[in-house]
Amino acid sequence: MTPSKEKLVIIGNGMAGISTVEQILKLTSRFDITVFGSEPHPNYNRIMLSYVLDESKTIDDIVLNGWDWYKENGITLHTGTTVSHIDEASHEVVTESGIRVHYDKVIIATGSTPFMLPIPGCDKQGIVGFRDISDCTQMVEAAKTYKKAAVIGGGLLGLEAAKGLVHLGMNVTVVHLMEDLMERQLDHQAALMLKAELERQGIQFAMGVQTVELLGDERVAGLRFSDGTVLEAEFVVMAVGIKPNVAVAQASGIITNRGILVNDYLQTSMSGVYSVGECNEHRGVCYGLVAPLFEQGMVLAKHLCGVETAPYEGSVVSTKLKISGVDVFSTGEFIEGPEHAVIVHKDEWKQTYKKILLKQNVIAGAVLFGDITDSARLQKLIKEKTAMTDEIYDSLMGTGCCSGGAKNPASVEAMADDEIVCGCNGVTKRAIVDAIADKGISTVEEIKACTGATRSCGGCKPVVEQILQYVLGDGFMTSKKQGICACTTLGRDEIVAEIKSKGLTTTKEVMSVLDWSHPEGCSKCRPALNYYLTMIYPDTYEDEKESRFVNERLSANIQKDGTYTVVPRMYGGVTTPEDLKKLADVSLKYDVKCVKVTGGQRIGLMGVKKEDVPKVWEELDMPSGYAYAKSLRTVKTCVGSTYCRFGTQDSMSMGALLERKFERLDLPAKFKFAVNGCPRNCAEACTKDIGIVGNDGGWELFIGGNGGITARLADLLCKVKTDQELIDLCSAIMQYYRETGIYLERTSDWVERMGVEAIRKAVVEDMDNRRALVERIEFALQQVEDPWKKMLNDTDTCTALFQSHEPTASK
């Protein structure tokens, strides 16, 4: 008879708990595992939240273990479920909702919570911490309405939050009690250089001030400092620190101090109960960084599986700043005292700074700014309490013939096999070398998929590349290149060419014929292949709904609480009383939580239950605004010559025509228009994929603008005299983008890659090519025509909506 498995319950679905589970799964299958997580998401990379905030990554991009991973490993997952306590007498874990699960072993991995200043006004609306996806969502939404933000706290989290809010278009001031930023990780010089760089990137600072009150009525309106001065703020992020989340332990009678007290094998005071990560306290220390939690997890996993392991004796912590364009690193001791010898190199031309502290000639700490290539090596030297030598000095300070430390393959060769390359995930050099040798791996992406190295902060990527070069030798340059994802070595252009030449017609056929390493593909390549096939065969390809993202499959945007937002079209931001009544009636009937005017001149119905989404669309009987799709999202217009005394062109009618014409057509990424009736540019053409500005002589056409991830001003492509020429050029640009763009590549990146001159030659100067592009997009548009398309030529409807007819010839 097969022995029953031991019941292992993980309280916390974050990085600490799940990384421990990953290690356990590598060692044994003896456990029946249940995981409880308070958030409604699978395990995600919390240290990448700053990238979600600045919109350079999506929530899906930072998921470490998707829903399928839990199923594949037989793990029972309860999301959106908070554990209240552990019942030692009955050996059960009990949730707030009344679920009771028997256990043999328990791991508490509840992490930490943001510390909120207990000052007057701290309970007002518009005040958040910065700890999870929910906080990011609130910041993104706030940035759509409010412009003045304050971030209280000049530490790592505060600076990441500030940079993200700046990317979202907010005017941000960081308020810090101390005179130096990140004073717990940086010395005065590095802090000064960091502040100067962040000021260049648009962040303002109020240093050496103490916030004593948050002003405003129901919503925050400002901050009052101890000296009586006031800072206006419509939105406040508190990033003054974190505190271990010990609620479950305390409710269960487990001994806590600042954190949950654990021994060197991560055991708590309750038999069979362990704790890992930010929630615990080991030898008087609570760690708030990611590397220690992985080190703890490896020790705990081996201990639970009965594998011999050295005890956990603490971690040498290090900090890397994850803000675009700013490289900062510190580890060990970084503030010099009388007991230290100091080695300093500062280069104001290259804006680099390096300081190494020695204690009795032993390397004790370091600070790096601008160039952090030596970070992994310095951390190892400090952990091993290495004495400084002439050879080490030459390599670190760039004075020897083989200077550069870990910057070249030779220094990688000198690394010990057990040296940790990826501190975030505890991946050693030997693990990477074995993966390369045993599995034929030759790219960083494959290393990430196999070992986990580079999966978190990505700071170890240069060293991983050096190990690849060291192991592969001359074959490194000719080794298998990275394709559109880890499933293939083929790039976008090669895949499209192969589909055309071989007549491949389905995603499965593409993956089979082109030798995908994973037969079913992944979340990156399946949507991309689906798009490329749609673009190549607009009339015959049957769209594979299962290959699309969940938002596209449901025609609505999923929200943090599991409900959906439905956004109908409102052409040019103009609607009718009848449609407004529909919106109101449906909102009341289906208990819509929020009705919001969006930044794209539409009305969004937020908080729709998943099962109600089809019924909401049916009763609205309005065209979708495709707020969820890789297609035309919005056409922003000013009121133009119809109403504005400065208007020279009918921007509302032109905008509505373009919106109706191109809606529903698949594109490599989301796409936005702006149409202005005069050069005053009220619809902000400079930050749109296609921006149009009217003047007395016709229209000016701009391309490649972006106000989101990486702000980019659009380039002037050309000027035209007639409406028809403008429409043809928009058609040609969009089709050229469809045919040459990489899937998920915004036009801002596409224009940078292709070059404005090349695009101008293809769509403006080469008339034959322009006509061919227009013909191809017209053919594609015919395949996606729906009932709403008839409105394009319905003059009565256009008149009712816009009080004007189709756009007239330019003045």
pLDDT digits (tens, 9 = 90+) for 118-133: 999 999 999 999 989 9
- Residue 32 has a pLDDT of 96
Instruction: Give the N- to C-terminal CA distance of the chain in Å, as an integer.
Output: 89
Token pair for 509: 């056929």
Q: What is the pTM of this model?
A: 0.58
- Is the pLDDT at 788 greater than 50? The verdict is no
Q: What single letter denotes the amino acid at residue 1?
A: M
Superfamily of the domain at 630-811: Sulfite Reductase Hemoprotein, domain 1 (3.30.413.10)
Same fold, 127-240 and 630-811: no
Q: What single letter denotes the amino acid at residue 220?
A: V
- Residue 546 has a pLDDT of 76
- Is the pLDDT at 475 greater than 70? The verdict is no
- Is the pLDDT at 41 greater than 90? The verdict is yes
- Which CATH fold would you assign to the domain 408-482? Arc Repressor Mutant, subunit A (1.10.10)
Strands 112-114 and 127-128: unpaired
Instruction: Quote the mean pLDDT of the chain.
Output: 85
Q: Between residues 47 and 239, which one has the greater pLDDT? A: 239
- Residue 22 has a pLDDT of 93
User: Whole-angstrom Cα distance, residue 303 to residue 291?
Assistant: 19
**Cα 98–chain centre separation:** 34
- Residue 806 has a pLDDT of 37
Task: State the pLDDT confidence band at 675, using cuts at 50, 70 and 90.
Answer: very high
Task: State the pLDDT confidence band at 481, using cuts at 50, 70 and 90.
Answer: low
- Residue 802 has a pLDDT of 38
CATH number of the structural domain 6-112+244-304: 3.50.50.60
How far from 28 is each of 4, 32, 34, 265, 309, CA to CA, in Å?
A: 14, 11, 16, 18, 15
- Residue 519 has a pLDDT of 76
Mean pLDDT of 98-123: 95
- Residue 351 has a pLDDT of 83
- Is the pLDDT at 754 greater than 80? The verdict is yes
Q: What percent of the chain has pLDDT over 70?
A: 89
The full length of the chain comes to 811
- Residue 809 has a pLDDT of 34
- Residue 234 has a pLDDT of 96
Task: State the pLDDT confidence band at 560, using cuts at 50, 70 and 90.
Answer: low
Q: Which residue has the tokens 């050099």?
A: 429
CATH number for domain 127-240, candidates 3.20.20.150, 3.30.830.10, 3.30.870.10, 3.50.50.60:
3.50.50.60
Domain ranges of the chain: 6-112+244-304, 127-240, 408-482, 492-548, 630-811
- Residue 456 has a pLDDT of 62
pLDDT digits (tens, 9 = 90+) for 74-84: 999 999 999 99
Backbone angles phi, psi at 166, to 5 degrees: -60, -45
Mean pLDDT of 172-201: 91
User: Whole-angstrom Cα distance, residue 220 to residue 236?
Assistant: 8
Q: What is the CA angle 656-659-664, rounded to 5?
A: 150
- 557 Cβ contact partners less than 8 Å away, ≥ 6 residues apart: 551, 564, 565, 567, 627, 628
pLDDT digits (tens, 9 = 90+) for 394-452: 888 875 443 333 344 446 766 767 667 776 666 778 888 888 888 777 788 788 878 87
